[in-house]
Structure 1
Amino acid sequence: MSFDPRHLSPLPSIPEGIWFHVSIWEQKVRVLRHQEPIWEALVSTALLGCGEEPESHRTPRGWHFVCEKIGEGAPLGTEFRGRRPTGFLWTPDAPFFEESLILTRILWLAGMEPRNLTTRERHIYFHGTNREDAIGKPMSKGCICLRNEEMVELFEFASVGTRVLIEEGGRLL
């Protein structure tokens, strides 16, 4: 099975340059250059599924863009609260926390469609997590979580303005 971006939701046009595709069904993020996949990783999206309503703890669908990049140069495992480092540095041997912490890097998303314009105020991010054991299964409160090392890699592909398409359905051939 391979990924074919020609089967994505309709768009005025596929973005030029780098853009991200999140498949909720596959629990994956892909980085594409125009229509060519160049990188991918497993993610964890919302435990409660998809939705755009404020305080729903669901992952919003549709077209978004990266509106802010936070944490460049921070050590792997740096915890953020309110998008600021707390001074806590998570490591894989740290005590287990059930709650998914916001770690390593943040790519803050803003919606581009009428249905998802609340994404920014809902604080929906790509971010690293202490719950690396749950990556590949829904577990977040709306954000898109990655393993910390993969979050650093994704962060390097992103610029403010990078487009992100979040889709619920599968897109495998």
Structure 2
Amino acid sequence: MKIETDILRLQGAPKTRSKTTGSAMRPYLLLLALFVASCAAPDTRHQIVVSTREQKLALLDRGNVMAIYPVSTSKFGLGDWPGSRFTPLGQLRIAEKIGDNALPGAVFKDRRRTGEIVLANSPGRDPIVTRILWLRGLEAQNANAFSRDIYIHGTPEEWKIGSPASYGCIRMRSGDIIQLYNVVGIGAEVTIVDTPLASAVPALVSAHSMSAANPAPFVMR
């Protein structure tokens, strides 16, 4: 009988330990679930507005202007036909972010790093570099943007920034796209217009009249 009692005790022991361990793990699992959920939450705080007419990009934080950057949109014009090289208009959002911690000038092919670094304004070189913000269209007029690989990305042809020169994407200087990438999250709204920024961004004020009532951490022109 003693042997049977010892066997039953040993058989029951793991169950008791397992129950205790499971109870102790529950708070940590709950915290992990909350952390994952918070990471997956879309960025509703920031908004990007691109003016193809002015070749400028405005970054907004809860409607307030944080920064204005020069950009380069398509040299072929505006639109979203499949297989075209146009820059789409309308409401889009950031679907994916690619390039965490990549060095300035790091080359991407098919959204993967090649290991090559191309310096700014290197003669004859025009790859996608530094960071990628992959856009997904939210309207019929830009429904093909994601499948057409429309990005906001870095370019080594920085001397062309400020004039239309891309094949459909929105190009930025490497230093600028790194700043933008570090601020915005997946889900952030991107609006592309063919009007001046001032008409698309009611809160926009001149860079020469930024006041303490409406400060901007950095403004680039």
Residue 93 to residue 121, structure 1, CA distance change in 2 (3 Å): closer
Residue 36 (structure 1) aligns with? 64
The alignment partner of 1:37 has SS state of strand
Q: Please list every run of at least 4 consecutive aligned residues from structure 1 whose deviation after the TM superposition is greater than 2 angstroms.
A: none
Quick check: 1:18 aligned with 2:58? no
Shift of 1:33: 1.7
1:16–1:33 CA contact under 8 A, matched in 2: no
Residue 171 to residue 160, structure 1, CA distance change in 2 (3 Å): closer
Quick check: 1:92 aligned with 2:120? yes
2:56–2:71 CA contact under 8 A, matched in 1: yes
Shift of 1:63: 0.4
Query: What TM-score, normalized by structure 1, do the two folds share?
Result: 0.86
Bigger relative contact order, structure 1 or 2, given CA contacts below 8 A and separation 6+? 1
Q: How many residue pairs align between the two structures?
A: 157
Q: In the alignment, which of 138, 141, 160 is matched to residue 134 of structure 1?
A: 160
Higher-helix-fraction structure: 2
**Matches of 2:101 and 2:73 in 1, distance apart?**
25
Residue 147 (structure 2) aligns with? 121
The alignment partner of 1:172 has SS state of helix
Higher-strand-fraction structure: 1
Point out the structure with max Rg over C-alpha: 2
Gaps of at least 5 residues in structure 2 are 1-42, 200-221
Quick check: 1:80 aligned with 2:108? yes
The alignment partner of 2:198 has SS state of coil
1:24–1:45 CA contact under 8 A, matched in 2: yes
